[in-house]
Amino acid sequence: MAMLEVNNLKVHYKILKGVVHGVDGVSFKLERGSTLGLVGESGCGKSTMAYAITRLLAANAEIVEGNIVFEGKVIAGSEEERALPKRKRAKYIEQTMRDIRWKEISMIFQSAMNAFNPVYKVGDQIGEAILAHEDVTKDEARKKVKRLFELVGLDVSRIDGYPHEYSGGMRQRAMIAMALACNPKLIIADEPTTALDVIMQDRVLAEIRDLQRRLGMAMIIITHDISVVAEVAEKIGVMYAGMLFEYGDIGAVFNRPSNPYSIGLMASFPSIKGEKKQLYSIPGSPPDLANPPPGCRFHPRCKYAKDICKEKMPEMIEVEPNHWSACHFALEIFNTQLAAAARRG
């Protein structure tokens, strides 16, 4: 049994003008100890996914369909929850998640700059998370914080420092230490390195990879940068306009991308390795999710779009074992990629 199962999840945001289809029918499974990279552009629903799993969605968001199963327990979208009137749901979420949040699933937030309370010492804030979830004394919690500092490569003498005394990279490490505080089984990292310089990003990524391997946690890393995913993940999910467009083993998706959107995304990334290639840009811009286009959501920007794409939403097609693509022509594209790969040798 997979550790985390997301089944046909739909999260909608209510706004004045109507409904924003933030996440619209996403399914995937995550095994123990493995890493999934979710990539996509801003507004594609990748962060909404993270907040849905941790049940930290904004007040105007609602899980309208589908469910999330963690370790055999339905943590979102259960029958029981749906039966409740809306005003009682917040309390219900609080009760189901109390033992799961941080102890089982923890999160590394995007802006470590703002994730800490500026008037409390960093060590105390991490200690507080431990005290809230584990039956330990203050001294034991502090000892554990020290161990965590060592684990993520922070100077233990800075334990009584305030957030403003930390550099960006240090704060990000402290954030990771906090996420690890209760030995979670799953860590969700939302753009963990976006605000960092490249050398610091490299160190933090190495740290994350190393810790994950040592402690055997599963991880979902959410980013717009496919090169970051290429470095840390084993599975990749490419999201566009609230939907999963391609999903599979990292090598398969990178070598034989079988969806026009992922192909476009990969062709728009410059690299410092290999030949200097002409970059391709996808025409147009992502759709307004309050008013998504009919049929395939990518069709207005897709150069292969045919009539069927305007009418019918494509299903996920398994083009090879452990590699799916949501495109009417996924198999054709896959075969062309295969032929191209054979030519490359």
Partner 1 sequence: MADSDVVIDVIKLRKYFDVKKGFLESLTSKEQMYVHAVDDIDFQIKKGKILGMVGESGCGKTTAGRMLVRLENPTSGQILLNGDDIVKKKGAELKLFRRKVQMVFQDPYESLNPRFTVFDTVAEPLIVHGVGESYEEREDMVAKALEYAELKPASEYMPRYPHELSGGQRQRVAIARTLALRPEFIVADEPVSMLDVSIRAGIMNLMLSLKDRYKIPFMFVTHDVSVSRYMSDDIAVMYLGNIVEYGPAEEVIMNPYHPYMNALLSAVPVPDPKFKRGRTQIKGDLPNAINIPTGCPFHPRCLYAKDICREKKPEIREVKGTHKAQCHFAGELNFDILNEEPTANTAPQASAP
Query: Minimum CB separation from partner 1 for residue 12, in Å?
Result: 22
Neighbours of 226 (CB within 10 A): 21
Q: Tell whether residue 271 is a contact of partner 1 (CB under 8 A).
A: yes
Place of tokens 């949501």: 326
Q: Among 319, 343, 328, which residue's Cα sits nearest to residue 249?
A: 319
Q: Tell whether residue 165 is a contact of partner 1 (CB under 8 A).
A: no
Q: Tell whether residue 205 is a contact of partner 1 (CB under 8 A).
A: yes
Amino acid at the residue 206: A
**Coil vs helix vs strand at 252:** helix
Which is nearer to partner 1, 60 or 227 (by Cβ)? 227
| Separation CA 260–CA 254 (nearest Å) | 13
Query: Minimum CB separation from partner 1 for residue 281, in Å?
Result: 4
Q: Tell whether residue 81 is a contact of partner 1 (CB under 8 A).
A: no
Which among 48-56, 75-83, 100-108, 267-275 is the span making contact with partner 1, rule CB under 8 A?
267-275
Q: Among 149, 147, 139, 215, which residue's Cα sits nearest to residue 183?
A: 215
Cα angle 268, 270, 272 (rounded to 5 degrees) comes to 160
Amino acid at the residue 81: E
Which among 63-71, 156-164, 207-215, 320-328 is the span making contact with partner 1, rule CB under 8 A?
207-215
Q: Residues 15-54: x/- map of binding to partner 1 (CB under 8 A)? A: -----------------xxxx-----xx------------
Which is nearer to partner 1, 16 or 83 (by Cβ)? 16
Burial class (CB in 10 A: 0-12, 13-18, 19+), 276: exposed
Neighbours of 273 (CB within 10 A): 4
Q: Tell whether residue 225 is a contact of partner 1 (CB under 8 A).
A: yes
Q: Tell whether residue 228 is a contact of partner 1 (CB under 8 A).
A: yes
Question: Can you tell me which of 265, 296, 302, 333 binds partner 1, judged by CB under 8 A?
Answer: 265
Q: Tell whether residue 122 is a contact of partner 1 (CB under 8 A).
A: no
Query: Minimum CB separation from partner 1 for residue 80, in Å?
Result: 29
Amino acid at the residue 181: A
User: What single-letter DSSP state applies at residue 31?
Assistant: -
Q: Tell whether residue 89 is a contact of partner 1 (CB under 8 A).
A: no
| Separation CA 164–CA 116 (nearest Å) | 10
Q: Tell whether residue 224 is a contact of partner 1 (CB under 8 A).
A: yes
| Separation CA 220–CA 186 (nearest Å) | 8
Query: Minimum CB separation from partner 1 for residue 7, in Å?
Result: 24
**DSSP run (H or E) holding 291:** none
Interface with partner 1 by CB under 8 A: which residues? 32-35, 41-42, 167, 169, 183, 185, 197-199, 201-203, 205-206, 212-216, 224-228, 230-231, 234, 250-251, 254, 264-273, 276, 279-283, 285-286
